[in-house]
Amino acid sequence: MHEITNKVGFISDMDGVIYHGNKILPGVADFVNWMLDNGKKFVFLTNSSERTPHELSMKLERMGLSIPAGCFYTSAMATAEFLHSQRPGCTAYVIGEAALTKALYDHHIYMNDVNPDYVVVGETRTYSFEKIEKAIELVNKGAKLIGTNPDITGPTEKGVMPATGALIAPIEIATGKKAYFVGKPNPLMLRHGLKKLDCHSDEIAFIGDRMDTDIIAGIESNIDTVLVLSGVTTMDDIDKFPYCPKYILNGVGDLLN
């Protein structure tokens, strides 16, 4: 693995690569300490929009990893930046957690449940039929439908659970309108990661656990890809796709072997 360990830095997915739920995965601490000891640049990306960078930093602190909030970039942040670039000062009706609302507020995008420019959907524990009804009404009135990420499911300590792609599907079906998804595999996420690291694509490797979001995003961003089998993908799944990662590992700790 000498070729990949010579990279200037790493962009890494989190769910299924660094942890499952509140359980850190084997080899992660060694990998993070190796990056710190060797002066590697790194940023952790997550398609989840549930937590702020500070909350992610605190979560990893509880697992024994000390990583500053500035090392995280979320689909909520990418969504806020995208909407701000598209229509500065726009408004949104949001189905999601406080971290998504905060990211939008940080870009002066405010809440509106009457005539918003956008309906934005992210992961949430407070999903309800009432909110779906409101979202459908607003999209039918002309609001644009945005998803923080297209993931249908995500790994947790309790097993695989529904993610944004599943939550937004009833709105798409009922309105006949397809959502625009900002998170991976949209290359926007990785481009933001490269910008944060101030690196070129050939200086970085991208580590992920999903063929359909992580690996394709890396390939389309011309970044060397590392698939780890610690998340949702198995060896048998890889042949189902018409593309392949550059490296396949059981987990991030194997990078050091």
Catalytic residue check, 239: no
Phi (first) and psi of residue 226, to 5 degrees: -125, 115
**pLDDT digit string, tens, across residues 180-217:** 999 999 999 999 999 999 999 999 999 999 998 899 99
- What do you get for the CA distance between the two ends of the chain, in Å? 7
Statement: residue 220 has pLDDT above 90: yes
Sorting pLDDT into bands at 50, 70 and 90, what band is 24?
A: very high
**pLDDT digit string, tens, across residues 234-252:** 999 999 999 999 999 999 9
Establish how many alpha carbons lie within 13 A of residue 82's alpha carbon, considering only the half-sphere containing its beta carbon. Answer: 25
256 vs 35, 98, 122, 249, CA distance in Å?
Answer: 10, 37, 35, 11
The pTM is what? 0.91
pLDDT at 147: 98
Catalytic residue check, 37: no
**pLDDT digit string, tens, across residues 119-157:** 999 999 899 999 999 999 999 999 999 999 998 987 666
Residue among 15, 117, 209, 254 flagged as catalytic? 15
Nearest-CA neighbor of 13 among 122, 155, 169? 155
